[in-house]
Structures are given as C-alpha cells and as structure tokens.
Chains A and B, each alone.
Chain A
Amino acid sequence: MARDILLEMKGIVKNFPGVRALKGVDFSVARGEVHALMGENGAGKSTLIKALTGIYTKDEGTIRFDGREINPRSTLEAQKEGISTIYQELNLSPFQTVYENMFLGREPRNSFGMVDRKTMIQESLRILGELGIHVDVTKPLLSYGTAVQQMVAIARAVSVDAKLVIMDEPTSSLDTKEVEVLFGVIRKLKAKGIAVIFISHRLDEIFEICEHVTILKDGALAGEMRVADIDQLQLISYMIGGEAKQLERTKGDYELQSAPEVARMTDIQQGMRLNGIGIDIKKGEVLGLAGLLGSGRSELAKVLFGAMQPDEGEVFWMDKQVHFKSPKDSIDLGIGFCTEDRKVEGIIPHLSVKENMTIALLPQISKMGVVSSKQQNKIVEEYIDRLKIKTPSPNQAIRNLSGGNQQKVLLARWLCMNPKLVIMDEPTRGIDVGAKAEIEALIQELAGQGISVLMISSELAELERNCDRVVVMREGRNLGELCGLEINQDAIMSIIASAGGELEKGGRLQ
C-alpha cells in the first residue's frame, strides 16, 4: 500500500559547535499515520523535531510538508503550516482556565472588540467533547491532572487545524488508565486524517499504537519500517545494538562470588519508575546497569546515593540497614556519584577546577572551618596529574573545560575522598574516544584497588568491556543478570525484549 506522504524531510544536517547532531537524516510521515520516532539519548530525536518545528534552523536538507517546501523559523510559523507540538513540559498556563488555555494567543472577539468568553467556552466544550474529554472548562487548568492537561494541549493543537501533531513522551507521567484515554484520543486524531509523531521509550506502547517506526542512532538513520514487520528484540537492536567494538574487553570470567558485599538494595519502589527492584554490589566489583532510557537506572542510583528517598524497600550498607536522608549521609559512608547530566547535576560552572574537585572533601582538609589551601593545592595537583586533566590552571572556571576534562574533575571529586563505592551514570557520554579509553582504564584501576563501581551506560559495548556483572532493567524491575563472559550485547538485548507485553501493564502502579 502506497503511503500518502504528508511530511518528508530529506538529508537533514544540523551541526553544533564540535558536534554533528544530525548527519543527513531522512524522515517521512504519511497522512493519518501514527509514527514512532525512537532512539536513545543523543541519537538526535529532539534535534530533528526542533529542526522541524523551527526551534533550530537546519544546516542542510529539505523539508516538504503537505506538498510544498517549508522552512519554519519559529514554532509559530510551524504551527501556521499545521505542525503542532505537545511537549513533555506542557507549555500551557496552569493558573488560567481550561478554555482560556485552549484559545491562548488567538482569543475570539465580540462585536465590541472584547474577548468573547461565551464563544470560547462553547468551542472548548465542543472540541474537547469530540475527543471524548468531558471536563468543566471554566476551572483553572491546574485543578486537573497531567492527563487532562495533556488532552487540553492536544485539543488546542487540533483546534488550530494541525495536520501533524508531535507528542514528545506523552505517556511518561501517565498511569495505565490515562494512557488508554490518550490512545483513544490518538485514534480519533488518526480517524480525522491527522498524523502523529509519537516519541516514547516504552516499547509496548509503540507496538500498541504505532504503525510505522523510524529509529535514529548517533544522529543518523538506523532504520525505518512498519511496526507490524518487526518484534521487540529487533527494535531494541536497531536502537542500541550492533556497535563497532572500538575497545576490547579486558576482563575474564566472573571471580567475585565470594567477595564481601558492599551495598544491597531490596524491593525498592519509587514513584512510577522503580517497581520493586533489588541489587547487590560486591567489593571491587564493576556492576553494570543495562536497560533502555526510562528503565529506572538513574533513579535507582539516586536512591542508593540518598538523593531520592524510596517509597518502599530497604538499603543496606556493609550489611547494616541505612536510611540516607540526603547525599551527605551516603558521602560520609564512602559513596560517590558522577551524575548523568554533568551540566545540571555535576559541575558548579563558575567555580574553579580546584573548587569543583574539592567541594566534597573540604571538611577533611579544614581546621575549624578554614580550608588549608596548602593541602587543597597538593591534592588538586596530584589528581590533575594522575587523571591527566587538561586545564590551563587549577583556578580556571570548570565551564571552560571540555566535556571529557569536566568529567575527569568530577571523578576526581569522589576519588580524592577515598570512596568505597563510586556510582557512574553514563560516564563517557559526550566524551571523545581518547578520554573514554582513559576513563574506562581508570574504572578498572579503581576496581583493582577494591573500590566498587556501579556503572550505568546506554552503550552495551561499554558494559560488555568493563563489567564483572550486569543487571538488566526494564520498567523499574530487575529482569536478569549476566556474569563475566556471559555479558554480551545480544544477551542483554534479548533479556530486555523477553519481558515485553504483560510487564508494563502490571508494572505500573494504580
């Protein structure tokens, strides 16, 4: 069956300083089609969407929409063409009423030139009703839950005559019943001939609602096919599999069966992301957490570090139960945490390399609250040397360093504390191959010294190279573990795929 193409993007290239975010991507969506756009973090999904909706200007390539070439320079221009976007963080005004939100920026006027509230209310009721949503439109938007707010956003998009609606992770904060309502709305849009680009990390949802899927990887097209033609394992391997091995596994088989346990977590429940997972980490072990985006890996790390409190479940440190109220408690016991998002949760941008490195160590090199700059300088120089951090001076503001060097400073922040366990969330993301090899070598060196490492990575090859054991997660659960030589990309992917279907239905709370 020939597709009636609505949107056709060809050879889209977008460069950012130092990065080629999109390397000539082709992407097309047919009329009335629900099209999944998939890919891990950094694959280029949001860059592609932003190039389409006018937030970024593409460097190369063409966009044809509804039969003619378009070059939107703002979301408003894109909207005028008939492309509407529903963001994760809804860009509606929560204190205004539902109907005001529906008509924000295009309020109808009555014959006196005043805002015509009566028409607004009637129209809102009609449009929402068509989508099967029945709410009191005169109430402020915030009096409804996320799901209804999302429906309002969608209804708004439809009412501006959208031909294409983009939904960026619309289900990430919805419960199972709300997801069903959303899917109902999507089916109604489809029936009206409106196309939907659906971005989600939940595989089951892709298979339930989407007909077509486009997969991006590292800024390039990894695959484009009908959903009916593939299964979950194939989809997963398009997303994360098939990486060229740049570096080799240095480790042999698993030898830590009898090593003492450092930390253990049991039956951890947290929000919607962790559903009764348990893990344990042994002394000197590099434990990997594998799973797709949104599988709860980072959340689990945050619970262990005390940055998030579990709703249920227990955390043990050296066989003693602990309740970390804040990261300070876990840091005191010897845990360090290199976060996934260095910019937002890692560096303190305007402070120097020296200050960033020693911020957690300060109490140990101070007398009566006064920092000994002699000791501080000594430690900073030692680690700049040991980790080969490239900085013009220890007093350079950290934001002026490259990503790899920033990461090394953050690693040094914990290493100088003589930690027992270091959690590393995507330690090599956005780092060039050279620095990557250095960081991986360092991880092995730490493990050799008896320091445990909990490593989260979306790059399966990286887990395969570095880990003694890998725990595979999906929907906040532990699906299985692989030890030593069992660890390989295919095995991890088939474990992830094995749990399709029933898990997500039962897994989500409420």
Chain B
Amino acid sequence: MNKAGKTREDTVALLKQYSAFILLAVMLLLNLIITPNFFKVGTLWNIITQTCTIILTGMGMTVVISTGGIDISVGSVMALAAVISAKSLETVGIVPAIFLGLLAAVIPGLIAGFMIGKMRLQAMVVTLGLMMGVRGAARLVNDAKIFYIDGPHASDYTVLGSARIAGVAPVQMIPILLGIFITWFILEKTILGRHIQAVGDNRKSAMLAGISATKTLMFVYIYSSVFAGLAGIVSAAKIGAADGNTLGNLAELDAIAAVAVGGTSMSGGRAKVFGTVVGALIMQLINITVNMNNIPYEFAQIFKAIIIVFAVYIQRDKAA
C-alpha cells in the first residue's frame, strides 16, 4: 500500500494493531532511563527465565481464548504435572517422569474439552471446577507437603530449570521458542488453526461450513492443559521442589492478562500469538522495574491492573 493513500483511520488501526509492541518499547525506554544497570545481558536472561511460565501458559490460553472460551485451571494443572513428574522421577527416570506429568495434565484438558465442546457447558464454570479439583489432586499426591527433588536422578530434572545454553542463555529459551513456534504454526498454517479461529469468531457459520466445533474445542483445552503441564515441570525444575499447594497459584490470571494485553479478543476470533508474548514480557517487565528500583511489589500489581485495563480499552472493537 502506498503511503499517500492512508487515512487517519488506517493510522489508528495500525496503532491499535501494534499497541502492545509500542507499550513494550515505551517500557523498555523508560527503564533505560530510570533503572540503574538495566541495560545488561543479565537482565535479559532474567526476563527470559521468569517469563517462561507466563509465555507457556499464555500460548495455551491464546488458543483457548481465540475460540471464545477461557481456562482458569492452568495454575492447578501446573501443580499436578509438577508433583507427579517430580515424585515419579526416582522410580521411572527422567523421560517417563515428564511423560507421566504431561499425561496427568491431559486428563483435565480432556474433561474440560468434553464438557465445553460436547456438552456445551460454560468454560468459566467447568474450568473453575477443575481449578479446585485438580489443585486438590495435586496436593493429595504428596500429602499436601512440598516435594523436594532430591536423589540420584535429581540433577536430570533440575537441569531443565537451571542449565545454560552455550554457558550463557537460560535453558528456558528452548520451551519458550518451541511453544511460540508450535502455537504460531498451528494457528497460521494448519486447517486446525483456521477451525479454531472460525469457531471462535462465528460458531454457527463455522458449523454450517462443515467444521466440528466439538472436536475443535476438545483440542484447544487439551492443548492448554499440556502447555500448563510443561510450565509446571519447568518451574519445579528451576526451584528444585514441587509444591502442590502453591505452585502455579494465580498463574491463570497472568496468562489471561498476557493474552488480553496482547490483543486477542476475549470474545474469540483472531488469535495474536506474538501479542501474547509481548503481553507476557510487559507483565514481567513491570515486576522487574519495580524490583530493580526498590519499589514495593504491591505497586507492580497496581501498574499491571492499569496496563490491562488500558490495553483492553485501546483495543476495543467499536466497529462490531
């Protein structure tokens, strides 16, 4: 498109589309000015390590929200996958342990997908139930006690949270990049991706075009749960312990916030994978800014609230 043909509406639309990116840039600039020692490689690695959970759960959440649904069980699913994989580590070894952890995560996803896709129950209520039920299950696995990853195989597990690629970059880079790539690929390149967005945008039209909304929704909730499980395992590996009581607490809210700030509409439709990544980075950057400037953490929460409302406000769809 040539520049001369652009109207004011186009400019506004463009600003809207990249609002999350602009916000991120502004925050980076702000930090460069006010935060001492911000412009260091170490800060970047910190951000990556710490956003891993939000990005992974955010990827699943992006897919779920683009179907017009929501999944608030991800925090509990993180805990379940973490505790099961950590506890089975010494008996079965690292690979089967991770497999078992992810398998445990699939089950709540399957239940959510069936109830929401097939029985057409409300996503909020179904995943609220799962949030409580799965948390209970996660606690039961180790009698509501913290499970410390300790034993001959412990380092196989903790390396997933602490290793450095080429001696510098945190290992979290790998799941982050893979998660983003796979989600982007599914949404942009596959039939399934088209179906997900079509069901989210106009379920009736999608069904009349021969799409099975049930199958599509089954997939998205399982997808979200698997990513939550992965996030749980990576977090437990970083800490060296799996706590069924607290691991992943409120993680669903961070994930939803990242998706909202990233510009995916809460009512379904267009999924914005990179928007969610940027949203997650913004959330984490607020934490770091507050931290490095010795501001009490409570302010971070208030800033986040303002950013979320602001982001949703500028992206609101007036044309609907």
Q: B192, B197, B201 — which one has the most chain A CB atoms within 10 A of its CB?
A: B201
**In the complex, are the beta carbons of A326 and B204 less than 8 A apart?**
no
Contact assessment for A369 and B208 in the assembled complex, using a CB-CB cutoff below 8 Å: no
Measured CB to CB, the closest approach of chain A to B189, in angstroms, equals: 5
Tell me whether B194 and A326 are in contact (CB under 8 A): no
Pair B206/A348 contact, Cβ less than 8 Å: yes
Known: A327-B210, A328-B210, A339-B208. Is A371-B197 also a contact (CB below 8 A)? no
Q: Check if B209 sits within 8 Å of A359, measured CB to CB.
A: yes
- CB closest residue in chain B, given A347: B205
Listed residue (B204, B206, B270, B319) with the most chain A CB atoms within 10 angstroms of its CB = B204
A351 touches B201 (CB 8 A): yes
Asked if A160 is at the interface (CB within 8 A of a chain B CB), the reply is no
A411 to B: closest C-beta gap in Å? 13
Taking residues whose C-beta sits less than 8 angstroms from the other chain, chain B's interface range is: 20 to 34
Distance between A428 CB and nearest chain B CB, rounded to angstroms:
19
Residues from chain B with Cβ under 8 Å of A359 in the complex: 194, 198, 206, 209, 211
Q: Report A366-382 CB contacts with B as 1/0, cut-off 8 Å.
A: 10011101000000000
Report the bound CA distance from A349 to B270 in whole Å: 10
A362 touches B191 (CB 8 A): yes
A349 touches B201 (CB 8 A): yes
Q: Is the interface of B mostly helix, strand, loop or mixed?
A: helix
Q: Which one of B190, B194, B197, B208 has the highest number of Cβ atoms from chain A below 10 Å of its Cβ?
A: B208
- Do B269 and A350 touch across chains, with their CB atoms under 8 A apart? yes
Q: Mark B193-225, 1 if CB is under 8 A from A, else 0.
A: 010011001101111111110000000000000
Residues in A with CB closer than 8 Å to B209 are 327, 331, 348, 359-360, 413
Q: Per-residue CB proximity of A295-317 to B under 8 Å, as 1/0?
A: 00000000001010000000000
User: Any chain B CB within 8 A of the CB of A1?
Assistant: no
- Closest A residue, CB atoms, query B193: A371
Judge if A337 is at the interface, Cβ distance under 8 Å.
Answer: yes
Interface residues of B in 250-284 (CB under 8 A from A): 265, 269-270
Given known A363-B191, A369-B190, contact A348–B208 (CB-CB < 8 A): no
Are A345 and B205 interface neighbours, CB within 8 A?
A: yes
Contact assessment for A351 and B208 in the assembled complex, using a CB-CB cutoff below 8 Å: no
Near A by CB (< 8 A), chain B positions 204-249 give 204-212
Closest residue of B by beta carbon distance from A331: B210
Residue in A326, A347, A355, A371 whose beta carbon sits within 8 Å of that of B207 in the complex: A326
Residues from chain B with a CB closer than 8 A to the CB of A373 are 189
Q: Which residue of B lies closest to A305 (CB)?
A: B208
Chain B, residues 41-78, CB within 8 Å of chain A (1/0): the string is 00000000000000000000000000000000000000
Please state if B212 and A348 are interface contacts (CB–CB under 8 Å): no
> For chain A residues 10-56, which have a beta carbon within 8 Å of chain B?
none
Q: Are B270 and A350 in contact (CB under 8 A)?
A: yes
- Top 10 nearest A-B pairs (CB, nearest first) are A328-B210, A331-B210, A350-B269, A362-B191, A348-B201, A359-B209, A360-B209, A348-B198, A348-B202, A369-B190
